Structure 1
Amino acid sequence: MARNKEKNSHVNQDSLKGRLILVSILFALFGAGIVGRLFSLQVMQHDDLVSRSEKQHQRTVEIHYGRGSVFDRNMNELATNIKAESVYATPQKVVDKKRAARVLAKALNLNHKSIYKKL
C-alpha cells in the first residue's frame, strides 16, 4: 500500500511537471505572438500606418457660404456675407517665431510685432 502511494505521488508530480511545462510553452508562444504583432505594426507597417493617420487628422474643408443677408422687420440689413480669407498658426509648432511673424506681416500687410505677440 505504501508503494502505491509513492507510485501515485510520483505519477502526480510527473503529470504536474508536464502540465507546468505545457502551460509555460503556451504562455511563451502567446508572448512571442504579441511581440511579433507589435514588431509588425511598429516596424514593418510604420509608413503605411503613418500615412493613414495623417489622412485621418489632416483634411481640407470647403465652407459653403452664401446664406444671404439678414434683415430686420423694417428691411434694414443686419448681417451680410463678406468674402474673407483667414490664416492661422499653431504656436506650439512654430519653430522660428520672429521669422514667421516677419513673413506673415509682409504677406498680410500687418505689423510684425502684433503678429509675434500672437504667436
Structure 2
Amino acid sequence: MKKRENILLDKSFAFAIRIVNLYKFLLAEKKEFVMSKQLLRSGTAVGALVREAQNAESKADFIHKLGIAQKECDESIYWLELLKETEFINQSEFESICGNANELLKILKSSILTVKQNLKK
C-alpha cells in the first residue's frame, strides 16, 4: 500500500533540512554562533511539532501543537530577517529560504483554521 502524501510533513521536514544546512554554513563560513543556534532551534522545531501533531490526543491537542509550530515558524522568519540585515546571508539566500518559511506558515495557518472550522460543524 502506498503511503499517503502529507504536504505539511514533507515541507516542514525539507525546511528543517535547509535550516540545518544553513546552520552548518553559518558556523563554518561566517563564524556566527548565536543567531544561527536560535534559527536551528526554531526552524527544526516546526517539523518536530508537525510530527507530534500527527499523534495528537485530540483535535484540540492537534490545534495546539500546530499553533506552536506556527509560532516557531514565525520566529524562524525573524532570525532569517536578522541574519539578512546583519549581512550573514545575502538577499537571494534570504528570499529562497524565507519563501519556504512563508509557504509553511501559510499551510500551518490554513490547517489550523480548517480543523477549527470542522470542530464547529
TM-score (norm 2): 0.25
Structure with higher helix content: 2
Q: What TM-score, normalized to structure 1?
A: 0.26
Higher strand proportion (structure 1 or 2)? 1
Which one scores higher on RCO, CA 8 angstroms, separation ≥ 6? 2
